[in-house]
């Protein structure tokens, strides 16, 4: 890549705290809201932010300030706000200097943590990797992995759907991204394990994340990162030396050229691979878990979905196109409305601006939030209800611009959207066709919010094998 990567950012928690406070004082007046530090509010936000954000919206409208941990954060909620931040005024917001920057110690300078020209050129170079035809090729891998995993499930008893899906999503990512088998001893297996170890850091409590001593989560994350880096960089070197290529995304990244015909260098490929693994793994896992949680509590929806799947004939990779199973698609859309895994879009404003008549300073943390926006009753009536019919084509067409943003928007819309959707479709279709999954009556869903929203305690499900359908999944036993 001919452009130099952006300068490094400090990871010293004391420096960051002082720098944030200094910049906040310089920024000037913040929009109305709760601007005094409060341990109770910070805890409430860290545990379950949705009710707090909706309450703030009621009191202050679509733009307000909330002091979380040590700093003021401006929240912008609702269709207009989402559109403003992601599309119409996207250039006035930086990702690297917002809370996405906290991912730099693990991800480096990949798409999630860069801005401006470096981002534009990186994204352009990577887009071919996610073209429809490429995803169609990955669909075979996705479908095959999901089929084998579903075939292996027992027809009765209890298992943890969240952990099962997480392992499957990592297998799919390892194969589709690296062309490696994560179950076979060797690179694939070690990389999957090291990745999970490194990722564990981001689900720890804030106060544990800023500790730096021996044995701290920070040190453990760095140890896992070093192991992962060795594996990824060795694999890159091996592919460059042997010229070996496959249908996996790493092969495509190695051959990608930017506008000036330059290949991505090794460090850049490493950072993008890590970013894709990170961004694509927990998002799909959470979507599948929330989907089955809702099916378990909404028998009418489950029955209609089962009917569609039974009528579909033999399931195959061609069903991973969004139009093949329309009710499944609406069910997934509604799951992503109620539980958008990447629930917050953290930014920092460049210049001050006025939104909905309220002045917001420059150099301030500004977040849009799909989760809260998807729960505004004047946009989605009875928002707590799970109703796939909201996404019937006519109803969907009536949604205001910016109302539904589970994949973000504008020039930085989720680059892995098609890949993630294909994965969720495959896993959901094969599972729902074969098995009935019921969440135990005494299970209470508690949602954790970092790094994406997901079930805090996993998702136990009781399994019953559905009656053999007349048209079993192709290639299934
Ligand atoms: C159900 C699955 C997924 C959901 C709901 C989702 C959601 C999102 C959202 C909301 C954003 C924008 C965040 C913002 O505006 O701050 C985003 C960005 C991104 N996603 Fe996804 N994602 C999913 C799957 C994936 C997968 C499978 C991959 C990779 C294989 C991926 C890679 C990325 C990357 C690299 C970005 C940053 C794009 C850029 O800034 O240019 N995502 N995703």
Q: Give the 3-state secondary structure of residue 318.
A: helix
Nearest ligand 1 atom to alpha carbon 419:
27
Which tokens sit at 277?
A: 């693994």
Q: Which residue, by CA, sits nearest to atom 7 of ligand 1?
A: 407
Coarse DSSP helix, strand, coil percentages of the chain, rounded to the nearest 5 percent: 55, 10, 35
Ligand 1 mutation target, pool 276, 342, 424, most atoms within 8 A of CB: 342
Q: How far is the CA of 422 from the centre of ligand 1 (A)?
A: 14
pLDDT at 189: 63
Answer yes or no: is pLDDT of 256 > 90.
no
**Residue whose structure tokens are 């920057």:** 101
Query: Can you say whether the dihedral through the CA atoms of 153, 159, 160, 163 is positive or negative?
Result: negative
Q: How far is the CA of 158 from the centre of ligand 1 (A)?
A: 31
CA distance 242 to 398: 53
Give strand pairing partners of 345.
368
The DSSP H or E segment spanning 187 is helix 187-199
Comparison of pLDDT for 147 and 185, the residue scoring more:
147
Domains and CATH numbers, the chain: 13-465 (1.10.630.10)
Comparison of pLDDT for 206 and 440, the residue scoring more:
440
Convert the pLDDT of each residue in 162-212 to its tens digit: 999 999 998 898 888 778 777 665 666 677 788 888 888 988 877 788 888
Burial (0-12, 13-18, 19+ Cβ within 10 Å), 351: exposed
Number of H helices, E strands in the chain: 18, 13
Q: Which residue, by CA, sits nearest to atom 37 of ligand 1?
A: 112
CA neighbours closer than 13 Å in the CB half-sphere of residue 204: 17
Question: Which of 327, 460, 458 has the alpha carbon at shortest distance from 387?
Answer: 327
Neighbours of 13 (CB within 10 A): 14
Ligand 1 and 452: CB distance under 6 A: no
CA distance 459 to 241: 44
Convert the pLDDT of each residue in 208-249 to its tens digit: 888 888 889 999 999 999 988 988 898 899 999 999 988 788
Question: Which of 90, 117, 107 has the alpha carbon at shortest distance from 8?
Answer: 107
**Residue whose structure tokens are 């954060």:** 73
Ligand 1 and 98: CB distance under 6 A: no
Nearest ligand 1 atom to alpha carbon 122:
41
CA distance 76 to 368: 5
Q: What torsion, rounded to 10 degrees, do the Cα atoms 206, 208, 212, 216 define?
A: -150
Q: Which residue, by CA, sits nearest to atom 3 of ligand 1?
A: 283
The DSSP H or E segment spanning 160 is strand 156-160
Which tokens sit at 336?
A: 């992503």
Q: Which residue, by CA, sits nearest to atom 21 of ligand 1?
A: 414
pLDDT at 474: 54
Q: How far is the CA of 337 from the centre of ligand 1 (A)?
A: 15
Report field, pTM of the whole predicted structure over 0.85: yes
Q: Which residue, by CA, sits nearest to atom 9 of ligand 1?
A: 407
Cβ pair 9, 107 in contact under 8 A: no
CA distance 111 to 176: 19
Ligand 1 and 284: CB distance under 6 A: yes
pLDDT at 463: 97
Answer yes or no: is pLDDT of 388 > 80.
yes
Nearest ligand 1 atom to alpha carbon 275:
35
Give strand pairing partners of 327.
none
Comparison of pLDDT for 227 and 50, the residue scoring more:
50
Convert the pLDDT of each residue in 362-386 to its tens digit: 999 999 999 999 999 999 999 999 9
Ligand 1 and 406: CB distance under 6 A: yes
Give strand pairing partners of 167.
none
CA distance 298 to 292: 10
Answer yes or no: is pLDDT of 470 > 60.
no
Q: Give the 3-state secondary structure of residue 407.
A: coil
pLDDT at 128: 85
Q: How far is the CA of 314 from the centre of ligand 1 (A)?
A: 31
The answer for residues whose C-beta is within 8 angstroms of residue 252's C-beta and 6 or more apart is 128, 129, 134
């Amino acid at each position: 890549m001919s452009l130099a990567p952006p300068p490094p950012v400090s990871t010293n928690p004391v420096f960051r705290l002082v720098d944030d406070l200094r910049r906040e004082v310089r920024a000037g007046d913040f929009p109305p809201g709760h601007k005094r530090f409060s341990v109770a509010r910070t805890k409430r936000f860290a545990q379950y932010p949705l009710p707090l954000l909706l309450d703030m919206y009621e009191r202050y409208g679509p733009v307000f300030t909330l002091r979380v941990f040590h700093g003021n954060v401006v929240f912008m909620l609702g269709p207009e706000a989402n559109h403003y931040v992601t599309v119409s005024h996207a250039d006035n917001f930086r990702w690297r200097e917002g809370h996405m920057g906290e991912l730099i110690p693990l991800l480096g300078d990949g798409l999630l943590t860069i801005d401006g020209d470096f981002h534009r050129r990186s994204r352009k170079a990577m887009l071919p990797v996610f073209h429809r035809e490429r995803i169609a090729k990955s669909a075979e891998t996705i479908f095959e992995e999901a089929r084998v995993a579903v075939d292996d499930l027992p027809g009765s008893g209890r298992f943890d759907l969240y952990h099962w899906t997480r392992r499957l999503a990592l297998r799919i990512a390892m194969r589709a991204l690296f062309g490696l088998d994560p179950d076979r001893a060797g690179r694939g297996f070690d990389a999957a394990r090291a990745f999970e170890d490194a990722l564990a850091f981001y689900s720890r409590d804030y106060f544990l994340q800023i500790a730096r001593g021996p044995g701290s989560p920070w040190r453990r994350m760095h140890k896992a990162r070093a192991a992962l880096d060795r594996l990824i960089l060795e694999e890159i070197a091996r592919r460059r030396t042997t010229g070996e290529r496959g249908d996996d995304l790493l092969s495509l990244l190695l051959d990608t050229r930017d506008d000036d015909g330059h290949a991505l260098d090794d460090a850049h490929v490493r950072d993008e691979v890590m970013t894709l693994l990170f961004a694509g793994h927990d998002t799909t896992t959470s979507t599948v878990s929330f989907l089955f949680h809702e099916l378990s509590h909404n028998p009418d929806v489950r029955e209609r979905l089962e009917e569609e799947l039974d009528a579909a004939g033999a399931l195959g990779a061609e069903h991973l196109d969004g139009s093949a199973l329309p009710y499944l698609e609406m069910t997934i859309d509604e799951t992503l409305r109620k539980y958008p895994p990447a629930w917050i879009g953290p930014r920092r404003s460049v210049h001050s601006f006025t939104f909905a008549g309220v002045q917001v300073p420059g150099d301030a943390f500004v977040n849009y939030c799909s989760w809260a926006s998807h729960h505004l009753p004047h946009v989605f009536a009875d928002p707590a209800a799970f109703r796939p019919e909201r996404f019937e084509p006519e109803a969907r067409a009536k949604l205001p611009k910016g109302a539904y943003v589970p994949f973000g928007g504008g020039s930085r819309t989720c680059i892995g959207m098609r890949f993630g959707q294909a994965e969720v479709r495959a896993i959901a279709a094969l599972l729902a066709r074969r098995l009935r999954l019921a969440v135990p009556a005494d299970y209470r869903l508690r949602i954790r919010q970092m790094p994406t929203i997901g079930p805090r305690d996993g998702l136990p499900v009781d399994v019953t094998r559905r009656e053999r359908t007349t048209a079993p999944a192709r290639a299934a036993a």
